[in-house]
Structure formats: C-alpha cells, structure tokens
Amino acid sequence: MYELTVIIPTFNEESNIERIISEVDKVFLQSGIRGEILIVDDNSPDTTIAIVNSLKKSKANLNLLVRLADHGLSQSVADGFAHALSEIFIIIDADLSHPPALIPMMYNEIKAGQDIVIGSRYMKGGGIKAWPFKRRIISLGGTFLGRTLFPRISDPVSGFFAVRKSVVAEAPLKPRGYKILLEVLGKGSWEKCREIPFEFVDREIGSSKLKFTTILEYVRQVLDIARFSFSLSQSAALREWKKVFMFN
C-alpha cells in the first residue's frame, strides 16, 4: 500500500518530533510519494509518545511503535525494518540534522536499482555544520574504522540512508549501538550502493545521547562484522575489498 517508509527512531524528542513529521509529510505531498512515517520510540519518558498519538488522529500515514525492551538506536531501526509497511525504507534522525528534502532523490535511486543509498557527510559537497572539535575527531575515527571494512564508501556510519527491504529481510543483523548502517552493509545482501552528499546540521534542541561506551560497542561491532565477513566467501565486505585491491 505504501511506496516508502520513513523510519524515525526517537528518544525524548518532544521538541523536534512535530516538526520532523510535518517536514517529511510535506516532502511526500510535494513529490507525490505515497509514504508511511514510522516513529520507533524507546518508551520516552517525555511527551514524544503523546504528541505522536495526537498527530496520528489526523495523519493516516503516521504509525508509532513503542518499544519496551532492549533499548537502543540500532535495535529500534531494526524493529522499524520489521514493522514497516513498504518495500523501501529511509532512516532519518528526528532532530533535523538530516535534510528531508533529499528523501525523493534517495527513493528514486532505489527505484532505479540501487540497493542502498547513503547520505554522506564526507564526500565532495557534504559536510558537518556546528560540531565541536571533539565530536569531529570521534566521528572521523569511527568513519575511518568503518572504511577499513568498506574502503569505497566515504560515510559507512551515516545515520541517514535508504535501503531496499530485501537487503535486510533475511540478514543476520546483530543490532547494537549507534551504527546500524555498518551492520546493514556488513550483513545485508546487496550489490549496488551509492552515496549522495548532504550537510549534517547539529541538533539545536534536545540532548545528545552519545556515551563513551558507545565507542567501545562500535569497535566490537566492527570486529564482529570482520569475523562474519571472513567466514563467508560471499560477504559484501570481502567483495568490496576485492574490487578495491583487485586480487580477484
């Protein structure tokens, strides 16, 4: 029934939720895409859930999944994959760091045959606005580590991406931490991936949930994907490596 599901993971986003929903809906109207908006909330103690429930009364394409166990961003996105009512998914943050205006372009790329379309902060034309130096260094470190698995992808840990359902439907995802895209790239079944640049804008309202343990969790995730990749002759990471280093 829907052509696209925009999955928005949320935790305590009462100050942003109404605006992101209305911006995504506006993009659907302008582009003529029959889209679903799926909010995946980790039982926020603020008024996020109440706001979504009240918006749902006038928006038939707005759905809410409230999770009561296994709190986490990646876990929430993976639950979103399982509950979405379409075959194409776009993941976007609630805090307006990612531009909803790029949704039609990402959707059209998937329609045209791409399996994954990544909004990249680190390719020509992309960027990050108003991030403190420490944040930039942590992000760059994480990105370089991710690129050891996927050398041709400039932003393998972006939170803004589109993916075809068939890529993740059967994938043995082990979602944890913040970097669901790396898990999708490492364990999903895909052939074609492209990136499009965007400028990441730091959240103006609400608070960040990035913790130090997130970094440790991420390193563990990279090691797990590497182990997974080398145990399979058909893995995406091995195929990408072969393309770059041409030892096949």
Residues 93, 109, 155, 240: which binds ligand GTP (CB under 6 A)?
93
Smaller CB separation from ligand GTP, 40 or 167: 40
The listed partner (ligand GTP, Mg ion, none) that binds 111, CB under 5 to 8 Å by sort, is: none
Which residue's Cβ has the minimum distance to ligand GTP?
A: 208
Q: What does the block give as tokens for 47? A: 């008024």
Q: What is the dihedral of CA 97, 103, 105, 106, to 10 degrees?
A: 90
Q: Is 97 in the site for Mg ion (CB under 5 A)?
A: yes
Q: Which amino acid belongs to residue 202? A: D
Q: Is 95 in the site for ligand GTP (CB under 6 A)?
A: yes
Whole-number Å distance between alpha carbons of 181 and 236: 13
For the chain, the residue count is: 248
The listed partner (ligand GTP, Mg ion, none) that binds 40, CB under 5 to 8 Å by sort, is: ligand GTP
Instruction: Name every residue whose Cβ is closer than 8 Å to that of residue 230 and which is 6 or more positions away in sequence.
Output: 238
Residues 2, 4, 5, 11: which binds ligand GTP (CB under 6 A)?
11
The listed partner (Mg ion, ligand GTP, none) that binds 73, CB under 5 to 8 Å by sort, is: ligand GTP
Smaller CB separation from Mg ion, 175 or 206: 206
Residues 5, 10, 158, 229: which binds ligand GTP (CB under 6 A)?
10
Q: At its nearest, how many Å lie between ligand GTP and the CB of residue 202?
A: 5
The listed partner (Mg ion, ligand GTP, none) that binds 213, CB under 5 to 8 Å by sort, is: none
Report in angstroms the alpha-carbon separations of 126 from 12, 54, 186, 195: 28, 36, 23, 10
How many residues contact ligand GTP, by CB under 6 A?
A: 21
Smaller CB separation from Mg ion, 30 or 207: 207
Residues 36, 41, 109, 183: which binds ligand GTP (CB under 6 A)?
41
Residues 32, 58, 208, 247: which binds ligand GTP (CB under 6 A)?
208
Where on the chain is the footprint of ligand GTP (CB under 6 A)? 9-11, 13, 40-42, 71-73, 76, 93-95, 97, 159, 202-203, 208-210
